[in-house]
A = this chain, B = another copy of it.
Amino acid sequence: VPEREFTPYYAQIMNDIRARIASGEWPPGHQLPSTATLLDQYGERLGVRSASTVREAISRLLDSGELRGHQGLGVFVAPQP
């Protein structure tokens, strides 16, 4: 795992998700990988070890309206405002 410059993990994850949305990789309505899968990925790429940290990032993006969560279903990219 890379040595970390100090941007908190949750902020790095938010940046990554925002970048994917902005690039069109994850268009509006796209379903994100599950929290567990995201943890695997950000574990490899950033060194994150806990689902709580992934949740921290997603939670903030839900608050800001960039993502929409549906319990039991998944998390989706919000439609354009």
Seen from chain A, the residues whose Cβ lies within 8 Å of a Cβ on chain B are: 60, 63-64
Number of copies: 2
Closest A-B pairs by Cβ, 4 of them:
A60-B63, A63-B63, A63-B64, A60-B60
User: What is the predominant secondary structure among interface residues of chain A facing chain B?
Assistant: helix
Q: Give chain B nearest CB distance to A7 CB in angstroms.
A: 16
Select from chain B the residue with minimum beta-carbon distance to A63.
Answer: B60
Complex Cα distance, B8 from A41, in Å, reads 30
Nearest CB of chain B from residue A39's CB, rounded to whole Å: 19
Q: How far is the CA of A49 from the CA of B24 in the complex (A)?
A: 42
Q: Which residues of B contact A60 (CB under 8 A)?
A: 60, 63
Instruction: Report Cα–Cα, A13/B60, bound state, in Å.
Output: 17
